[in-house]
Amino acid sequence: MLLLARNRRRKTQTELAAETGVAQAAISRIENGTRDALSQEEIQSIARSLGFPVSFFYEQEPLYRTPLSLHGAAFRRKAAVSKRDQEGVVALANHYVLHFRKLLDAVDLEPEFPLLQFEIVCDKSSVSENANAITSAGEAAQKVRASWQLGDGPISNLVRFVEATGILVVEGDFGQADIDGVTLRPPGMKPVVVLNHARPADRKRFSLAHEYGHVVLHAFPYDAMEKEANDFAAELLMPKTGVLPDLKRGLSIPRLGQLKQKWRTAMSALIYRAKSLGAITDENATALYKRMSAFGYRTREPQEFDIAPETGKLAAQLLNLHLSDLGYSLDELAEGLRTDPVEFAIMHGLAVPESKLRVREKPKLRLVANRD
């Protein structure tokens, strides 16, 4: 738990040692499992420095250090995202997992739709017994849409459909990390997807589709997985049979804005989809991208074409069950989940009591100014 807490605050072992007086070597041995415990005084000092209750460090929840996916343009250029930021985002996702594992103990979750699993193979006779054989990521997306009883039109609220397969979807504060989303698949739980709350709604939507592609396609990482997840997301959000007639009618900036509002995907994603489906040539796509760049739309697409954010309900329902039906107060629930009440409320989008936000006034010392 020390590694989770330290990475959550994005501190190095050296920084934590300097702040707490606990030897860096001792911190390292605890984190790599070669030392059993710290003293009570050391734990209290670390808890103060990192802003976690002392009880947090006695939890037995393991840290799932390797996420199923970290999705983001900059992450694909790993040098552009610092190790500290990567570890901080993974620690945030693990913090959510710790909460949800305990919260789920009190409920029987009954998903509306099955969580399908696929394996992309050349020979469908060679697929494993736990997965459905497919030949492309797009085929997997088609089967997912069919299981959700959708036609070939836009998905109104992707979060709700993903949640209906039992996956928890939340938005978190990634700080300055240029990462769109992270997925963890903890043992004994359905996957948990954490999206960067600072991203535009259309980008979060594509990131969620991408992350869901990893969940249904990839039991382990391999080189082609990012492209497959993108292909899955494109077909899930913009199915060929539904979007192609729209893309063949001629594309301009205003037309792309209209299609963005219909399909709830970024204008740049629509251009890429049109090119990949053969609705426009590479030259047409390049010209459209250049036109968007000229107006600054590659950085920020026109505000008048923005789509409304999508909201989930599964995580909120889970919290409400504990706070209302089971009668926990926010403080009691935060204590049970070994998290500061203010941080717990912020993580889950709950109202923070005003009393918790008041800065405690430090006692003033009396200083007498005289001529002596």
pLDDT in tens, 291-350: 999 999 999 999 999 999 999 999 999 999 999 999 999 999 999 999 999 999 999 999
As for how many domains the chain has, the answer is 2
Least confident window among 52-66, 168-182, 233-247: 52-66
Q: Which CA distances in Å does 58 have to 40, 52, 178, 301? A: 11, 11, 32, 47
Q: Is residue 266 part of a domain?
A: no
pLDDT of residue 95: 95
Please provide the average confidence, as pLDDT, over all residues in the chain. Answer: 89
Least confident window among 186-190, 210-214, 358-362: 358-362
Q: Is residue 342 part of a domain?
A: no
Give the type of residue at 314.
L
Of 53, 63, 52, 67, nearest to 30 (Cα)? 63
Q: What percent of the chain has pLDDT over 70?
A: 88
Q: Is residue 334 part of a domain?
A: no
Q: Is residue 329 part of a domain?
A: no
Model confidence at 130: pLDDT above 70: no
Label residues 179-218 b or e (16+ Cβ within 10 Å = b).
bbbbbbbbeebbbbbbbbeebeebbbbbbbbbbbbbbbbb
pLDDT of residue 62: 64
CA distance 372 to 367: 13
110 and 225: one domain? yes
Model confidence at 69: pLDDT above 80: no
CA distance 23 to 15: 11
Give the type of residue at 246.
D
Structural domain ending residue among the three candidates 205, 237, 269: 237
CB of 300 within 8 A of CB of 237?
A: no
pLDDT of residue 357: 63
Q: Is residue 152 part of a domain?
A: yes
Q: What is the CATH number of the domain that holds 170?
A: 1.10.10.2910
Domain that holds residue 3: 1-60
CB of 49 within 8 A of CB of 57?
A: no
218 and 188: one domain? yes
Confidence of residue 370 (pLDDT cuts 50, 70, 90): very low
Query: 186-196, pLDDT tens digit by residue?
Result: 888 999 999 99
93 and 48: one domain? no
109 and 15: one domain? no
Model confidence at 367: pLDDT above 80: no
Top pLDDT among 8 and 125 is at 8
198 and 231: one domain? yes
Q: Is residue 302 part of a domain?
A: no
Q: What is the CATH number of the domain that holds 17?
A: 1.10.260.40
111 and 230: one domain? yes
pLDDT of residue 122: 77
Q: Is residue 14 part of a domain?
A: yes
CA distance 156 to 308: 10
Q: How many CB atoms lie within 10 A of CB 105?
A: 7
pLDDT of residue 68: 65
Q: Is residue 8 part of a domain?
A: yes
Model confidence at 14: pLDDT above 90: yes
CA distance 87 to 295: 36
Structural domain ending residue among the three candidates 196, 213, 237: 237
31 and 98: one domain? no
Structural domain ending residue among the three candidates 237, 262, 289: 237
Question: What are residue 194's DSSP bridge partners?
Answer: 170, 182
6 and 87: one domain? no
45 and 158: one domain? no
128 and 145: one domain? yes
126 and 182: one domain? yes
68 and 137: one domain? yes
Q: Is the pTM of this model over 0.75?
A: yes
pLDDT of residue 124: 59
Q: How many CB atoms lie within 10 A of CB 129?
A: 4
Model confidence at 85: pLDDT above 70: yes
With residue 6 as reference, give the H or E element that holds it: helix 2-8
